[in-house]
Structure 1
């Protein structure tokens, strides 16, 4: 019996499905103004399982009620590479419950599908990676090196969880990372960058019938949006489309004036306003140059109109990532998928950004994104995952880890 056969023999599919159902039934939506609305209960559930398995997880709170988890399994073949496997505990809000056919935290099973918030994004990925590691453990950890599980909070927010994990050194020296997000059988070697900016304008309140007596805080933002939107076309002309990620996007997503006001005061100039920009980039695009270009637009406008006051703030900066298809981790995942499914998986790109962008940005570790579930079902009503895909993802992770960690150092 090969090491892979032994590990597959120890894969507890029934236990994994039960774990997933119980995991989904624990709401882990973070709502800052609602007591108990965080990842604490979901993380505690994961910690109990890891502790029962003897994996001795390390747990700490990034913020109150928001625990990160790290655990690892050492191979029995001696020193070798460090492989990271990563998945988050938080989920997004279910939204309007009337749009759901099944309760969003019910983990309802219909045929091969389990419905519920987080089934695809990404509690199924967490379940698959945990039970893959458990199977390897029960098979005697037949590999060289270490598998380290990173289970952070807040992937759906500003990624404070993975930022803290990486800052504490848990990604240092890793040879590669598998991000277990839903990618629909694709081995995703690239993911878009995300640059979030806020432009804040300060004016002076005045009567709408006498606007010259004040400064309309909204006006400079409107004037700035034209060149900012035109910048999208310039970037596309320079960089083209990426074969896996497509186009660059610059999207104004929020425009507010006055901040904290309401629409009843239509006869008053706003004394404050802001606009938020969601910028999605591809490899080769320099985020610092984008920021400098937009700051240049602000400087020129404010020099022309000295009464304008506009400040630019970087809310978040996640660069795009790309790993060569020849990388051993990519090839290990493709070979593992072939063993499990009988066909060669396509390469793909992640249209959003994952915690992997932070792992690469802050530690230089190459990442691949591969996991169970459809890539476009997350955040929608009636989110679901095929349970057979969760089983197969765990099998793929087993084979990929064994191949990637086959050589002692």
Structure 2
């Protein structure tokens, strides 16, 4: 494919509004594109305009190398953007647009690499399987459905093209999310004793459960992934200044490590809930939103070794802006590693989760798994999301070499 053809693929994907789902149209576009190059694919319609896509090239036999990315993106506030988030813009060596980093850039690179290998009839001793998923940014509905269908049962290897830049990740934290609702009783603020303040109850409960979980997290750190974390990310309550609120809601995100795992965090959450409701007026109600386990793969797997070998020369020729170098210095100070090192491609664990938590649910430890994709992870979920043009084009070449080498 010529450079402009490659850009057209990324431009088309950025143009699809796949916020909170709506991946079907993007999946149909990719299916048509693959078909133009003689590659068959299947769309698994999940309803409500959500869909997964699976395509294969090679022998159709083992070994099966699975490569994956998600088609959905996070919400954007278009008024805050300097450009149209659903139009690919090129400026000063950067792409701008919703998903150019997380992760339509990675998806486009995977698709283009597969097409070019097929067009050039590069021999593969095995099967390259492309798996594109729905709903990763919300409930991982797509990868959960694919696990139920057994998409990884015959697959030896999984690469997810989430943005890492010139690093690769072999372990991810899990995630448990909760919606917490406090139900109280409305009253005039001049007579607070006539009501039950749902906001106050919610704040008190959140402080209690946060204290318990953070204490346990301190006691049970993981040697690879660090500590389980607890954050309150959404808080809603009240209708006006002179009314005792009858209802309030918060949404909680916890990031999970094996030493203090999903089941233990949920049990501590529920224990605190029972204790609180037994000693307070009103009621706290809890709904589980997401429950995905951590993944700890092999840090020295063949896949990791091949990534380091193939990608290092590209990393060494990468140019970083002054802003990116400053961000790298900040990351080094806060987390102990520099994502913009130019001498050695780092092999790391990461706090963020991926579809691997569902796809690898039958083998969460010791899998042949890596996260490796174009884009600066600090640009994810940001206004004016951007990605390096040079890195994106380089990753297409890296993927082609990686896939061919792994299946030679």
Q: How far has the Cα of 1:315 moved from its partner?
A: 0.7
Kindly tell me the number of residue pairs found equivalent between the two proteins: 380
2:326 alignment partner in structure 1: none
Closer, same or farther in 2 for the Cα pair 1:383/1:256, shift >3 Å? closer
CA shift at 1:292, angstroms? 0.8
- Give 1:33-52 correspondences, 5 Å limit: 38-52=22-36
Kindly indicate whether the alpha-carbon contact (under 8 Å) linking 2:217 and 2:260 is maintained by their aligned counterparts in 1: no
Q: 1:194 aligns with which of 175, 180, 187?
A: 175
Give the conservation status (yes or no) of the 8 Å contact 1:97–1:104. no
**Counterpart check, 1:324 vs 2:298:** yes
- 1:53 corresponds to 2:55: no
SS at 1:62 equivalent: strand
Identify which range, 41-50 or 180-189, moves more after superposition: 41-50
Aligned residues of 1:335 and 1:400 also touching (Cα < 8 A) = no
Q: State the 1:186 CA deviation.
A: 0.6
Relative distance call for 1:200 and 1:42 in structure 2 (3 A) is same
The equivalent residue for 2:349 is 349
Residues 96/134 of structure 1: CA separation in 2 closer, same or farther (3 Å cut) = closer
The TM-score, its normalising length taken from structure 2, stands at 0.84
Question: Which runs of 5 or more structure 2 residues have no equivalent in the other structure?
Answer: 317-342
Q: Is the 8 A contact 2:28 2:43 kept in 1?
A: no
Q: How does 1:102-113 map to 2 (within 5 A)?
A: 102-113=83-94
Change (3 A) 1:303 1:115: closer
In the alignment, structure 1 residue 66 sits paired with structure 2 residue 50: yes
- Mean Cα deviation higher: 185-194 or 132-141: 132-141
Seen in structure 2, the aligned counterparts of structure 1 residues 297 and 151 have a Cα distance that, compared at 3 Å, is same
1:198-217 to structure 2, matched below 5 A, reads 198-217=179-198
Show CA shifts across 1:258-310 (max 9, x none): 5xxx225x33x4333333211122343211111111211122223334x4433
CA distance in 2 between partners of 1:226 and 1:29 (Å): 32
Which of residues 72, 77, 80 is equivalent to 1:95? 77
Cα displacement (A) at 1:214: 4.6
Task: Verify the 8 A CA contact 2:214 2:230 in the aligned structure 1.
Answer: no
TM (norm. structure 1) is 0.84
Write the deviation string for residues 132-177 of structure 1: whole angstroms up to 9, x where unpaired. 1122223334222211111112222222122222222222232121
Alpha-carbon shift at residue 340 of structure 1 (Å): 4.3
Once residues 213 and 288 of structure 2 are traced to their aligned partners in structure 1, the CA distance between those partners, rounded to angstroms, is 18
SS in structure 1 of the partner of residue 216 of structure 2: helix
Q: What residue is the counterpart of 2:230 in the other structure?
A: 250
Distance 1:104 1:222 in 2: 36
SS at match of 2:101: helix
> Quick one: structure 1 residues 111 and 251, their matched pair in 2 at CA, closer, same or farther if it must change by over 3 Å?
closer
* Residues in 2 aligned to 1:271 and 1:79: alpha-carbon distance in whole angstroms: 60
- The 2-side partners of 1:40 and 1:141 are apart by 30
**Which piece of structure 1 moves more, 176-185 or 233-242?**
233-242
Whole-angstrom CA distance in 1 between matches of 2:184 and 2:92: 59
1:351-380 Cα deviation digits (max 9, x unpaired)? 322222221236656531100111111222
Distance change >3 Å, CA 362–CA 277, structure 1 → 2? farther
Tell me, in whole angstroms, the C-alpha distance in 1 between the residues paired with 2:295 and 2:188: 50
Q: Indicate the larger mover: 203-212 or 368-377.
A: 203-212
Deviation, structure 1 residue 44? 2.2
Distance in structure 2 (CA, Å) of the matches to 1:219 and 1:98 = 33
User: Which whole-Å CA distance do the structure 1 matches of 2:14 and 2:269 have between them?
Assistant: 42
- For 2:387 and 2:223, the matched residues in 1 are separated by 28
Give the 3-state SS of the residue equivalent to 1:196 in structure 2.
strand
1:25–1:301 Cα change, 3 Å = closer
Contact 1:242 1:282 in 2 (8 A): no
